[in-house]
Amino acid sequence: MTREWGGALAAHMRRIAALRQVEMLLDWDRETQMPPKGAAQRAEQVAAVAEALHGLETDPRLADWLATAADGAEGTAAVNVAEAARVHARATRVPARLAAEIARAAVEGQTAWAAARAASDFAGFAPGLARIVALKRAEADCLAGDGAPYDALLDDYEPGATAAEVAAVFERLRPGLVGLRERIAGAARRPERLGGRFPKDAQLALAGRIAGVFGYDRAAGRLDLAVHPFSSGTGGDVRITTRIDEADPFQCLHATIHEVGHAVYEQGLDPHLAFQPAGAAASMGVHESQSRLFENHFGRSRAFCDWLAPAMAAGFGRALDPAALHEAVNVVEAGFIRTEADEVHYNLHVMLRFDLERALIDGRLEVPDLEAAWNERFLRDFGSAVPDARSGVLQDVHWSSAAFGYFPTYTLGTMYAAELDAALRREVAVDAALSAGELAPVVAWLNARIHRPGRRLAARRLIAGAIGREPDERALLRYLNAKFGALYGV
Amino acid sequence: MTREWGGALAAHMRRIAALRQVEMLLDWDRETQMPPKGAAQRAEQVAAVAEALHGLETDPRLADWLATAADGAEGTAAVNVAEAARVHARATRVPARLAAEIARAAVEGQTAWAAARAASDFAGFAPGLARIVALKRAEADCLAGDGAPYDALLDDYEPGATAAEVAAVFERLRPGLVGLRERIAGAARRPERLGGRFPKDAQLALAGRIAGVFGYDRAAGRLDLAVHPFSSGTGGDVRITTRIDEADPFQCLHATIHEVGHAVYEQGLDPHLAFQPAGAAASMGVHESQSRLFENHFGRSRAFCDWLAPAMAAGFGRALDPAALHEAVNVVEAGFIRTEADEVHYNLHVMLRFDLERALIDGRLEVPDLEAAWNERFLRDFGSAVPDARSGVLQDVHWSSAAFGYFPTYTLGTMYAAELDAALRREVAVDAALSAGELAPVVAWLNARIHRPGRRLAARRLIAGAIGREPDERALLRYLNAKFGALYGV
């Protein structure tokens, strides 16, 4: 706690942060613990917390408190005031009833989506999604002022970012990704995945071990199974989930490493800034940089395979060659599912979603036409026809949970991850750490440069400070070309 | 939803009910899922929800809404208005800061208590408990008006009850219990407990089976392990916990039946009254009547042993005689621990706590003297010296969680359970249902008479309606004398 931050404003923001944690817990519980008949009540609970939060964020006393606190505030206190003012301004623009309706619709939407996805039935889901889109358009209109509605939603996940900037990154990235994909498609070398069966309990035990190696503190978290891996919580209580496919252990292991990347960030925030606006994670893009750095740059690296091959041999009773393992976890193959995509295809999946959700929010696309638009675009970008809604427009939970503007943070995160990886390797012996399964020096670097600063720097400035210049997409393309060029001999 | 109940008042009370559910979930999660380092954050989260609830309950618009709604309200709508008015009146008397401080102290108190109990160290825990007592005295003073402070706290758990009434029940009950205990102490027959080892997994599997037999709907709940068995939630999400002692399977099995009694009540509330004040459970005494009815009158009955003996034989691979099993689960033996007490001693444990907590709230006893007062009273009532704080004053979580006025509801519940058991047996073939493990007719009777009415009748009137006269302690004494007289030949 800095000396400048205290009093009624600090106490008020503390309550807001605490209720945000409650929101996350309600979500985690719904995904991992809640019995099926609890869904309707849960929607009411989430709406009630959202209304309470909205009440706090729009409290008319905030304007006075902020004016007083802003006077002469410096450093962290100034960030606290600015961030509190941002939260207050956003909330004040959205009517309480709309905020609560969105919260309730998001919970109901996720339940409806899970059923629709299981049945691969977009038509039945469309009316519910259309309601969510209508609510989000209304929210975006409230928030946007003179700006673009989509930018107002994006700002919630990536403060300060705009669709135009994101689109520019995508445009520069796309030719490089498509070129690499085409070279790989024509390559003579064809690395193969692992075959066989990997028992659930052995996967979970290894996932727990790997989580520890990557710096996850189990006394401040827990590992559970869920349909979709995610990380939830902050500070002393950061929970992660994974999933099991006995035919493919990397569904579990890479999901675990990915979520540990998120979790180590939240566990590594400055505890002295807990419950302060400046103490939160910088943005979803920075968050995703940590998970992608862990999953791809570390988890799918040749060096980590030196550690992983004997660990898998011990866990599954099966000898593995580290070099072959490295090939097996880096197979490039066009598929329908974003979360299963390789590093070369991943950002192409994101671009598709970014364009479609922008069109939905801007009103250039309506929900009844969404499935056709998805399938047409997918065919154009990936060269194959989507076989069913489950493998297409229904694969992701985001839109059903009212998260529009979230997808582009995945690509920003991928870009930041590549920049951080390159910078880290200039200062820390990353490969030696990965081979030995001793990541403490790597985590320490990230703690110092990325985690502990929290929101004291805006996302781009934080990354720029860590790498020593403005970040862009060139490090990502260099990394992909070098890695997959070597693996595929192209 | 009755036609008379709607509009802003109903929506407001719905939010209050939803946040109460969130409070319960935060508690359940703390006991069953939360990692150790999450405790400090959890206290903030609970305090933030408590403050939000206090804000809703003290909302100045409630006075107008209540006045309008009270005009001409009948039936359920009138109960909704009266109950909403009661909640508003209570909350308005307690300052927001005090309410939040109590909520935070209760969470911190439970963490401190668990450590103190493990170390059997009352002195180290006393300052924290003294703070909680001071806060509860302050709350009681705010609530009491011209009445007795302790009654104001009791009213939160058992609306309308007073300490004087409870004391009168205790005074009439005590001679009967003491007399029965003395006859049993002099008896020649000495039933014995089961020996042996009962593996954890088999206990849990049998507990799950028993939960189903007693009417628990697993699609609207879940069964987990916790240090202290409890039930949490309402409607479509009612979770229970149990604990395992491999040397004594009835720690698990009877705890499960007890919690299922609570859970079947909450699952059996009228879904049309969900989130309405009139739709909640009537009181903690009525709640405890359901758990005690299930645990003692059903779970420890001779008839249920006909079902349980073969089920245990199947689960543990060990032949058991139903009559011997009945004796084994009804051994009478003075012990230090309330939750392990037999039916003859149980209410004597409660009386001790009732007198001590009343003295604490009234200011006749201070926390530094509490351990000595406990030990002296225990020696007087039970004839043996408490060996350590863990077996004495530190055994129960209630006071550390700021629950004063809760204990007497256990004895009211025991009294109501005996009344309900007698009334039920006049109309339903209870023993046949228990022998067959087919409790549907029993649960249906309880659903109709006790569960679905919710709060539409006050606790005593609800029980009186179900049994056909005013309840008193005589049914309990008759039941105990008949059951233990036969078992011990006295």
A·B CB contacts under 8 A = 125
Per CB distance under 8 Å, which residues of A are interface residues toward B?
Answer: 14-15, 18-19, 21-22, 25-26, 29, 33-42, 44-45, 47-49, 51-52, 55-56, 217-222, 233-237, 239, 274-275
Q: Which residues of chain A have pLDDT under 50?
A: 1-3
> How many whole angstroms separate alpha carbon A290 and alpha carbon B46?
30
> How many whole angstroms separate alpha carbon B140 and alpha carbon B143?
5
Under 8 Å between Cβ of B84 and B13: yes
Interface predicted TM-score of the whole assembly (ipTM), two decimals:
0.93
Q: Which residue type does A412 have? A: L
- Which of A35, A48, A237 lies at the smallest CB-CB distance from B19? A48
Phi, psi of A321, rounded to the nearest 5 degrees: -90, 130
Q: Where are the domains of chain B?
A: 7-157, 164-488
Strand order in the sheet with A223-225: A223-225, A237-242, A231-234
Under 8 Å between Cβ of B278 and B455: yes
Q: Kind and range of the H or E element at B239?
A: strand B237-242
| Minimal CA separation from B41 to chain A, in Å | 7
- Which of B40, B48, B237 lies at the smallest CB-CB distance from A22? B48
**B422 Cβ contact partners less than 8 Å away, ≥ 6 residues apart:** B467, B475, B478, B479
Strand partners, A237: A234
pLDDT of A1? 39
Strand order in the sheet with B223-225: B223-225, B237-242, B231-234
Q: Which residues of chain B have pLDDT under 70?
A: 1-4
Pick among 3.40.50.1110, 1.10.10.10, 3.20.20.140, 1.10.1370.30: CATH of A164-488 = 1.10.1370.30
Q: For chain B, give the number of residues.
A: 490
- Which of B55, B56, B222 lies at the smallest CB-CB distance from A33? B222
- Which of B25, B41, B217 lies at the smallest CB-CB distance from A21? B41
Distance of CA A209 to the CA centre of its chain: 23
pLDDT of B429? 98
Has A343 been annotated as catalytic? no
- Contacts A47 to B, Cβ<8 Å: 15, 18
- Tokens 């105990």 belong to B480
Per CB distance under 8 Å, which residues of B are interface residues toward A?
Answer: 14-15, 18-19, 21-22, 25-26, 29, 33-42, 44-45, 47-49, 51-52, 55-56, 217-222, 233-237, 239, 274-275
Return the closest-CA partner of residue A476 out of A164, A170, A245.
Answer: A170
> How many whole angstroms separate alpha carbon B110 and alpha carbon B133?
14
Is residue A242 classed as helix, strand or coil in its secondary structure? Answer: strand
B98-109 burial, b if ≥16 CB within 10 A, otherwise e? bbbbbbbbbbbb
- Contacts A222 to B, Cβ<8 Å: 33, 35
CB contact under 8 A, A221 and B35: yes
> How many whole angstroms separate alpha carbon A422 and alpha carbon A402?
35
pLDDT of A2? 43
